[in-house]
Amino acid sequence: DIQMTQSPSSLSASVGDRVTITCRASQNINKYLNWYQQKPGKAPKLLIYAASTLQSGVPSRFSGRRSGTEFTLTINSLQPEDFATYYCQQSYSTPDTFGRGTKLEIK
Amino acid sequence: QVQLVQSGGAVVQPGGSLRLSCAASGFTFSNSALHWVRQAPVKGLEWLAVISYDGSHQYSADSVKGRFTISRDNSKNTLFLQMNSLRPEDTAVYYCARDHGNYIFRNGLDVWGQGTTVTVSS
């Protein structure tokens, strides 16, 4: 199985900050990396698929990038509604493993 | 409105069985690959299973293989998860979700059910 190592596990930031979350795959997954946002008591929401393609309706302050087996999610100019938990997921090879999540909290 | 509406969660004893349902509307169900994902209390997301658009291909995670079965009824626009030999560690919120791509080239889960809670306890 492909392991997804996500970091950091938690992050404190302020409104207006820029933050970056990283996911590293244990082997090549090409571009098959997805990012989700989850708020308490809610289902996850797809933000980015194929490493860097923004899902319809997602604000442009969210962006994704790939460098080999390392993937990053960047949020520019944090808004109050962005404080949530973020997960990466590889869909290159079953099982489609998730990272352990990054909880983004208000500083 | 594109949506997945889940039902079937319950409290069940260890060793028991349960079937979860996920009813789709607002999109062409028979064209879509579908998944099950779960989340144990205060834990992260765990991917469980995927099924192809016509039900001819399925894959399940090792943690549930041989106990859980994913299936679908395209005539009823409904996805199922049959759960047998349930264990306390299966306690979680279970989500169904649609793949943005297809069974071979999966591209993220773009539509999610609301989640249904399964508690395995005596």
pLDDT digits (tens, 9 = 90+) for B42-65: 999 999 999 999 999 999 999 999
User: How distant is the Cα of B13 from the closest Cα of chain A, in angstroms?
Assistant: 25
Among the partner-chain residues B35, B59, B115, the one whose CB lies closest to the CB of A43 is B115
Return the bridge partners of A86, or none.
Answer: A37, A102
A44 to chain B, any CB pair closer than 8 A? The answer is yes
Return the bridge partners of A98, or none.
Answer: A89
B50 to chain A, any CB pair closer than 8 A? The answer is yes
Cβ contact, residue pair B106, A91, below 8 Å: yes
- Give yes or no for a contact between A98 and A88, defined as CB atoms under 8 angstroms apart: yes
Q: How far apart are CA B71 and CA B37, in angstroms?
A: 14
Q: How many helices (H) and strands (E) in chain B?
A: 0, 11
H-only helix segments in A34-77: none
Q: What is the pLDDT of residues A80-89, one digit of tens each?
A: 999 999 999 9
pLDDT one digit per residue (tens) for chain A, 107 residues: 999 999 999 999 999 999 999 999 999 999 999 999 999 999 999 999 999 999 999 999 999 999 999 999 999 999 999 999 999 999 999 999 999 999 999 99
